[in-house]
Structure 1
Amino acid sequence: MESQSIDHAALLPLYLAAATAAVALFAGRAAKAATMIGLAASGAAAIWLAAGPTRRTFAVDDWFSFTADETAMGLAALFAALTLLVAAISGRTESEYLFLLAVSAAGGITLASSRDLITLIVAVETLTVPLYVLVARPGRDGAEAGVTFLIASITASATALMGAALLYSAAGTVHFAGLAPALAEAHTGLVAAGTALLLGGLAFKLAAAPLHSWAPLVLERAPLPIATYLASASKLGGAIAVIWVVHFGLAAGAGAEAGLVLAVLAVASIAVGNIGALVQRRTVGLLAWSGIAHAGYVLAPLAALSTASGRENPAAAASAALAYAVFFVLLEAGAFASLTAVRDDGGRIDELGGLWRAAPGPATVLLISVIGLAGLPPALAGTFAKVAILEWLASAALWMAIVVVAGAVVGLAYYLRLARTVLLGEGARARPRFTVAVLAAGLVLAAASLAPGLVLEFTSMSQ
């Protein structure tokens, strides 16, 4: 029997992330240094691969399960960078903590390159399962958050698996390259049911409504560094999973069904997230609820597939959604990291009054992140994120563009309230920590604002 050839170079970032996890578990006091070095090496390997030709491995006929192209490797580098940031702001931690972080990062790196349903779902679970333990910090609140996250995640995973099984039965393959054309000729009811279940289950990872209720509770009660990871790397994983399934697997054969499901999820998320954020008085709660609205903005370009004009260019929809997701998670990571630098918990919004005078560095990064999430200059990363999706929606689904603009206008109310408190309020006291990590996050946000073309280029799905 001829053995399948494997391109080990394509798997190098994954190998390095997995090796980092193994070393961290047994490194003792050197675990943090080993984790930082290993994740940096994994990210560097991904950037090196992104600059070269596309590599593919694990082939079945002409279909591949793992692809290392510019987009996938750019996202792999982003997963490594986000995990590196979380490790840096976690302070003194146990080896097991760093092991779980590195395992989750390995899942994210695999997810970015996955090109079949099995690889994608396994990668999503590898990204998510370590978080069950990391969320459950000692104490009643941590245990409650961990159990809530566990039960909701298992339910969503079972739903996604059922959807994947139905699509497999309809198409006879799990590879995206074979799934897309086969679904066009499959039983319509079977395709619709499979699409709804799969996308609904995966939307949980993005905290999209109506599978959103876990996010505010878990983010508020998890340690702030883990909340940072949940709000950035974990949500990026959910966005990639949905975009990959829609773009590679469904757009050609089930575009209308997928678009209808995503339209419902997008509108519900924008409405629920903004309403929930408006009434929040706690900082993490506000960011958690507004993150639900941003999940709707990520899904909005894909929802345009429900219209005939939207289905004419599904690659543009996927590119707009992915670009928004990348800008969003960078801003979320900046907001949570700067908050971690000045507090052990999120606290109330009014407790951040005058933070800009008490801790200028972290407060500046927090302001840039919050203003960017509102979509306003000078934090141009958020502005370009909104432009990326509105430019597409204006020509493909004008009604959805109106929903996004309305949601963004509502978002100004709570984001500007938070920014005003940080800048002009009084009473905040802080002893900043993790200065290097927070400033590094701020520099990345500045780079994304000054050179958004770099993000738009590697998130383009037309390459």
Structure 2
Amino acid sequence: METQAIDHAALLPLYLAAATAAAALFAGRFAKAAAMAGLAASGSAAVWLAFGPTRETFAVGEWHSFAADDASMGLAALFAGITVLVAAISGSRESEYFFLLAISASGGIALASSRDLITLIVALETLTVPLYLLVAKPGRAGAEAGVTFLIASITASSTALMGAALLYAAGGSVHFAALSEDLDGADTRLVAAGTALLLGGLAFKLAAAPLHSWAPLVLERAPLPIATYLASASKLGGAVAVVWVVHFALAPSAGTVAGIVLAGIAVASIAVGNVGALVQRRTVGVLAWSGIAHAGYVLAPLGALSAATGRDGEAAAASAALAYAVFFVLMEAGAFASLTSMREHDGGAIADLGGLFRAAPRASTVFVIAVIGLAGLPPALAGTFAKIAVLEWLASSAVWLAVVVVAGAVVGLAYYLPLARTVLVSRGGEGAKDRYGLAVLAIGAALVAVSLAPQAVLEFTSFSQ
């Protein structure tokens, strides 16, 4: 009997993340240190692999289910790094808390390297399922957040599974490389239905409209460290899943269908997210609703696939979407982590941000940099380059979508700039502290680094190399 060869080196980051989860569960009072050290090692292994040749494993003929290339390993390191940040700002918690965080990070690391529908969906659920427990802090509000997230997630997962089943029926394979070839001659109605259901279900993880309503409620009622994880790592998982399916499996065979579906989701998300953010009076509410709009900006380049011609155009769209997602989650992580450092238990009303620059200068500086970046303005150039990456592609393929993105970004100034102004100018700040200084400074340094050297992000997210 022929046995399947396994490249254990390609799986090293996943092995280390899974081992970290087991260690955290039994480490007792040292669970936090074990989780942070183990995930840091996992991220370091991913960076090491990224500088080496591409590795692929779990082969069926010429197709592989797991790949360790530059983009995958860069994303794996990002998943691990965000989880270390969340662990650092979580304070003293039970060992089960860090066990669940590490399990979720393992799902994200596996997702980054997935190259078939089964691996992708299982990895995405591994990323998501631990969050059902983590969002449900004690009390009625926490229970409502957990149940809401559970029901919405199960509905979206069922939708995505149905879409994957239809695509399997149409193409006869679950491997992305096989589907990209076999869907060309498949029944167009079956491909269209499968594409719409799969992408619609996966868009839930990004909190994209119309499956967006869970995000504001859950983010406001979850503990702030977990809100940080949901707004960054969880959304990165959704973005990676959508980009992987579109780039590796659907295009160019189903590019037109995918483009129509994603264009509709992108426009709806930008409109709903901006309108919702404009009427918010609480800080987390603004960040949660604006995150829905940013999901639309992530999907907008993929929404132009109906205008793309050939594989090169599709690769540029996928690169732009993934680059925006990376910039976006870094800025979201910076905003929520610094808010956690200053407020710890509750983001509070926008008016409560007054005086924080005097009371907590380090954390408030990172918060302002992140918020200005989310607005797409200098000197926080990470957000500026994120918008440029998207608009550069849209300007040559779908000008109308570029206009929608620009209009949404302009509306965003109406709620991002008051956040920054309140922190810097208004009085108050009673009870604010600069907690978790090293963690906040680390994410602040990351934001400065990608602002000064955006090409590093653009290179590892490029599919045209």
Query: Is 1:227 the equivalent of 2:227?
Result: yes
1:455 aligned partner: 457
Q: CA deviation at 1:252?
A: 1.6
Report the CA distance shift for 1:56/1:347 in structure 2 as closer, same or farther (over 3 A): same
Q: CA deviation at 1:306?
A: 1.8
User: Could you give the per-residue CA deviations for residues 127-168 of structure 1, whole angstroms, max 9, x where no partner exists?
Assistant: 000000000111000000000000000000000000000000
Residue ranges of structure 2 left out of the alignment (5+ in a row)? none
Query: Is 1:426 the equivalent of 2:427?
Result: yes
Report the CA distance shift for 1:199/1:134 in structure 2 as closer, same or farther (over 3 A): same
Q: What is the correspondence of 1:298-377 to structure 2 with a 5 Å cutoff?
A: 298-309=298-309, 313-343=313-343, 344-377=345-378
Q: Secondary structure of the equivalent of 2:252?
A: helix
1:204 aligned partner: 204
Q: CA deviation at 1:354?
A: 2.0
Q: CA deviation at 1:408?
A: 0.2
Q: CA deviation at 1:431?
A: 1.8
TM normalised by structure 2 equals 0.99
CA RMSD of aligned residues (A): 0.8
Q: Secondary structure of the equivalent of 1:396?
A: coil
Query: Is 1:131 the equivalent of 2:131?
Result: yes
1:25 aligned partner: 25
1:444 aligned partner: 446
Distance 2:286 2:342 in 1: 17
2:178 aligned partner: 178
Query: Is 1:384 the equivalent of 2:385?
Result: yes
Contact persistence 1:310–1:397 (CA under 8 A): no
Distance 2:295 2:234 in 1: 12
Q: CA deviation at 1:30?
A: 1.1
Q: Secondary structure of the equivalent of 1:395?
A: coil
Q: CA deviation at 1:311?
A: 6.9
Code of the aligned partner of 1:27: A
Contact persistence 1:210–1:268 (CA under 8 A): yes
Contact persistence 1:263–1:306 (CA under 8 A): no
1:410 aligned partner: 411
Distance 2:71 2:90 in 1: 29
Distance 2:357 2:312 in 1: 48
User: Could you give the per-residue CA deviations for residues 18-55 of structure 1, whole angstroms, max 9, x where no partner exists?
Assistant: 00000000011111111111000000000000000000
Contact persistence 1:305–1:311 (CA under 8 A): no
Percent sequence identity over aligned pairs: 79
Distance 1:312 1:339 in 2: 41
Distance 2:196 2:213 in 1: 19
Distance 1:7 1:311 in 2: 29
Distance 1:254 1:427 in 2: 55
2:269 aligned partner: 269
User: Could you give the per-residue CA deviations for residues 272-311 of structure 1, whole angstroms, max 9, x where no partner exists?
Assistant: 0000000000000000000000000000000000225587
Code of the aligned partner of 2:199: L
Q: Secondary structure of the equivalent of 2:462?
A: coil
Contact persistence 1:304–1:311 (CA under 8 A): no
Contact persistence 1:142–1:221 (CA under 8 A): yes
Distance 2:132 2:41 in 1: 26
Query: Is 1:152 the equivalent of 2:152?
Result: yes
Contact persistence 2:361–2:434 (CA under 8 A): no
Contact persistence 1:111–1:123 (CA under 8 A): yes
User: Could you give the per-residue CA deviations for residues 310-363 of structure 1, whole angstroms, max 9, x where no partner exists?
Assistant: 876100000000000000000000000000001121100000012111111000
Q: CA deviation at 1:181?
A: 1.2
Q: Secondary structure of the equivalent of 2:395?
A: helix
Contact persistence 1:89–1:340 (CA under 8 A): yes
Q: Secondary structure of the equivalent of 2:254?
A: helix
2:75 aligned partner: 75
User: Could you give the per-residue CA deviations for residues 405-431 of structure 1, whole angstroms, max 9, x where no partner exists?
Assistant: 000000001000111101111111212
Q: What is the correspondence of 1:66-105 to structure 2 with a 5 Å cutoff?
A: 66-105=66-105
Code of the aligned partner of 1:372: G
1:281 aligned partner: 281
2:56 aligned partner: 56
Code of the aligned partner of 1:391: E
Q: What is the correspondence of 1:187-202 to structure 2 with a 5 Å cutoff?
A: 187-202=187-202
Distance 1:242 1:119 in 2: 14
Contact persistence 2:312–2:464 (CA under 8 A): no
TM normalised by structure 1 equals 0.99
Distance 1:136 1:461 in 2: 38
Aligned length: 463
Report the CA distance shift for 1:310/1:287 in structure 2 as closer, same or farther (over 3 A): farther
Distance 1:396 1:449 in 2: 26
Q: Secondary structure of the equivalent of 2:225?
A: helix
User: Could you give the per-residue CA deviations for residues 183-207 of structure 1, whole angstroms, max 9, x where no partner exists?
Assistant: 1110010000000000000000000
Code of the aligned partner of 2:121: I
